[in-house]
Amino acid sequence: MTMNKIAWLIDSSAYLSNTLKDHPDVYVIPINIHFGLEQFVDGVDLTHEQLYDRIRNGTASIKTSQPSAGEFALLYEKLGKEYNSIIAIHVSKSLSGTLSSSISGAGIAQVQVEFIDSLSLSAGITGLVERGLQLQEAGQSYQEIAAALRGMVSKFRNYILIGNLTQLYKGGRLSSVQFYLGSLLKIKPVIQITPQGELKELDKVRSHKKAIQYLINKAVEASVNDGLQHVYIMHANAEQQANDLKEAILQQAPHLQFTIGEISTSLAVHAGEDTVALLWYL
């Protein structure tokens, strides 16, 4: 058994930054994606390009499902033999059953795990793990690290600009009337993951240009009022838009640092193409 090392377990809704992608102690369990009767594994056998092509041209219903408790148990049995400590950080339990499956899997495997409900997704999970690795490097115990990360959860902020209403409508988060009126009036909804880990509509903005300015204003305000230092910009097949947003923010807050990345296929199923999000921890 490897001594004094922590296994970090996350689900594939998380954004894999270079730090996480290249770290030998970070493990990712994939979420499942269903197109009608077909099933794919997030990040394994379905590329972003294939997903967006299916969204644009396919007719089958699209949904996601969490990994089973059995899948978690197999991984936990392996990790329990190789590590003394395990910390699992998952997508908000209000948005997915992944955390519940993870807890059940650990029970089956009979291993001790520190579970953390990120109350977020994507870069929200990323930021927690990156901070946890820093605390680990500083010599803190896994219990101390878990406690610190639970305290950090409440400091998460996010603003998500939906690029295409179609996927929200197909996923049941928009009524047919809302979808029709939103498309007709070119409304750009800005949604947010609340401190309780739930999705809610934060604002409606007329025109894409005004919506982008809305995001710019939020980042600049946090920079001035809250001492914001680092921002994640996540996007759904909209890298140029993400880079343009970064440059626009830098014009008013030149000290800010940025990480730009693409959301996972399991999240793009719901958010849709051209979605852009700003996320950070204070």
Give the per-residue pLDDT at 178.
Answer: 43
What tens digit of pLDDT does each residue of 16-50 get? 999 999 999 999 999 999 988 889 988 888 888 88
Cα 32 to its chain centre, rounded Å, is: 15
Residue 169: how many CB atoms within 10 A of its CB?
18
205 or 72, which is more confident: 72
Percent of the chain with pLDDT over 70: 90
CATH fold, domain 2-154, is Rossmann fold (3.40.50)
Q: Which helix (H) or strand (E) holds 158?
A: strand 156-161
What tens digit of pLDDT does each residue of 138-182 get? 999 999 999 999 999 999 999 999 877 565 545 544 443 343 334
Give the per-residue pLDDT at 186.
Answer: 62
Instruction: Tell me how far apart the alpha carbons of residues 8 and 203 are, in angstroms, rounded to a whole number.
Output: 35
Give the per-residue pLDDT at 243.
Answer: 98
Give the per-residue pLDDT at 129.
Answer: 98
The yes-or-no verdict on residue 3 having pLDDT over 80 is no
Counted residue by residue, the chain has a size of 282
User: In whole angstroms, how large is the CA radius of gyration of the chain?
Assistant: 19
Give the per-residue pLDDT at 170.
Answer: 55
Instruction: Tell me how far apart the alpha carbons of residues 72 and 163 are, in angstroms, rounded to a whole number.
Output: 33
What tens digit of pLDDT does each residue of 183-242 get? 433 678 888 999 999 988 888 888 889 999 999 999 999 999 999 999 999 999 999 999
- For the chain, the structural domain boundaries read 2-154, 156-281
What tens digit of pLDDT does each residue of 258-282 get? 999 999 988 888 888 899 999 999 9
Give the per-residue pLDDT at 168.
Answer: 56
236 or 52, which is more confident: 236
The yes-or-no verdict on residue 2 having pLDDT over 50 is no
CA distance readout (Å), 51 to 39, 62, 235, 239, 269: 12, 10, 14, 16, 8
Look up the pTM and report it: 0.91
Choosing among 3.30.1180.10, 3.40.50.1970, 3.30.565.10, 3.10.310.40, the CATH entry for 156-281 is 3.30.1180.10
Q: Which of 26-30, 75-79, 93-97, 268-272 has the lowest mean pLDDT?
A: 268-272
**Closest alpha carbon to 115 in 79, 142, 75:** 142
